[in-house]
Amino acid sequence: MAFFLRNDVGIDLGTASVLVYVKGKGIVLQEPSVVAIDQYTNKFLAVGEEARKMLGRTPGNIVAIRPLKEGVISDYNVTERMLKYFIGKSLGRTLLKPRLIVCVPSGCTEVEKRAVIEAANEAGAVKTYLIEEPVAAAIGAGLDITAPTGNMVVDIGGGTTDVAVISLGGIVVSRSIKVAGDNFDEAITRFVKKKHNMMIGERTAEELKVKIGCAYPLEEEEFLEIKGRNMVSGLPMNVVVSSNDMLEALKEPVQEILEAVHYVLERTPPELAADISNQGIIMTGGGALLRGLPNIVEERTGIQTRVAENAVECVAIGTGKSLEWMEILDKSNATKAQVGRYKK
């Protein structure tokens, strides 16, 4: 009988990874947003984790690409086919097309939103709703967004960082910047290139970020040996990188995130600012797992800051939970009009 039931699906369509939440089942899929294509035949060779392993290692006729850049669709056709693959993999065989909720950055333009809706509908959805990432992150972190209380969320994904104050089910003040996890990787690559005269790939930069990356000095310095290509001789070489090196490498992108937090706090109405001071700042997304990031946010703002449980999955969980809150999503424009008078 389940064969005939319509599935409601929530999708966290991220720059770095895609998470799929199926109503009644929870998160059923978490894969990198990477696709490997044969350029001669235009055929998909691999999607997700298999394709990620190919990054930087493909022959001339095969290209491994990320169809989303900085939180928005950069390659429409590939995104549509990738979505179709992930929806099919998550649901299996089903007669009825699913209803989808897809999350988008809070700074998304109308054109970018339309592209997401069209790609999702072409991928097999009967109807597609959109939810802004900070709202989904707040729901996923267990906050009651419908209460007349201010909650501040800092969602650091792969392509964008969304900082928002949420009250009465809508966003009161927000800022979306195109600085996030991918920029951390790029900053690390540039630093290693400048300091050691060595080129490293995306995966090595990510390994450095995960293992010894930090935004605040660690109690004990850590080290990691990495391999790359010497830019002078062109030969493979090894170097040892320290956590203090990472602190220096990541200073610039971390500073931009701190400025976005400060920008939103400056524009938050006094009553909501008092709520945030009492309740603290919640950080979500994969980028929030960078060690020391909550410490430096707390140091700069004077407000208690914590990383949500299951930070990586928060947006997907919130997107999934909002499947049961369709009426709130439909009324969100009216809610925004109500709180709009506070935006000054």
pLDDT at residue 192 greater than cutoff 70: yes
**Structure tokens that stand for 25 in this block:** 């089942």
Return the bridge partners of 294, or none.
none
Confidence (pLDDT) at 5: 56
- 205, with CB counted inside 10 A (0-12, 13-18, 19+), is buried
- Is the predicted pLDDT of residue 58 greater than 90, yes or no? no
Mean pLDDT of the chain: 88
pLDDT over 50 at 338, yes or no: no
Question: How confident is the model at residue 78, as a pLDDT?
Answer: 92
Q: Label the pairing between strands 281-284 and 305-307.
A: parallel
SS3 272: helix
**CATH 3.30.420.40 location in the chain:** 2-133, 141-179+253-342
Q: Report DSSP state, residue 63.
A: E
- The answer, yes or no, to whether residue 305 has pLDDT greater than 90, is yes
At residue 329, the pLDDT reads: 52
Q: Is the pLDDT confidence value at 116 over 90?
A: yes
Write the pLDDT tens digit of every residue in 133-163.
Answer: 999 999 999 999 888 999 999 999 999 999 9
Of residues 332 and 6, more confidently modeled? 6
Question: Residue 307: pLDDT above 50?
Answer: yes
Give the three-state DSSP class for 182. helix
User: pLDDT-based confidence at 70, cuts 50/70/90?
Assistant: confident
Is residue 342 over pLDDT 50?
no
**CA distances (Å), origin 319, targets 127, 180, 249, 272, 326:** 15, 20, 33, 24, 11
* Residues pairing with 241 in the sheet: 224
Q: What is the pTM of this model?
A: 0.86
Q: Please state the rounded mean pLDDT for residues 23-51.
A: 90
pLDDT level of residue 4 (50, 70, 90 thresholds): very low
Architecture of the domain made up of 141-179+253-342: 2-Layer Sandwich (3.30)
Q: Does domain 181-251 have CATH number 3.90.640.10?
A: yes
Instruction: Read off the pLDDT band of 337 (50, 70, 90).
Output: very low
pLDDT of residue 317: 92
Alpha helices by DSSP H, listed for the chain, are 49-52, 76-91, 110-122, 133-140, 181-196, 202-212, 243-249, 251-266, 270-279, 293-301, 314-321, 326-339
Q: How confident is the model at residue 334 (pLDDT cuts 50, 70, 90)?
A: very low
**Which tens digits make up the pLDDT trace of 246-256?**
999 999 999 99
pLDDT the model gives residue 341: 34
| DSSP state at residue 17 | E
Q: How sure is the predictor about 274, in pLDDT bands with cuts at 50, 70 and 90?
A: very high
Of the ranges 20-24, 31-35, 91-95, 280-284, the best mean pLDDT one: 280-284
Strand-pair partners of 16: none
Which residue type does 29 have?
L
**The pLDDT value given to residue 336:** 43
DSSP letter at 235 equals: S
Domain with CATH 3.90.640.10 in the chain: 181-251
Write the class of the CATH domain 2-133. alpha beta
pLDDT digit string (tens) for 170-188?
899 999 999 999 999 999 9
Using CA atoms, how far apart are residues 246 and 208, in angstroms rounded to an integer?
8
Task: Give strand pairing partners of 102.
Answer: 11, 130
Which amino acid appears at position 293 of this protein?
L
Residue closest to 88 by CA, chosen among 1, 11, 14: 11
Going by pLDDT thresholds of 50, 70 and 90, the confidence category of residue 225 is: very high
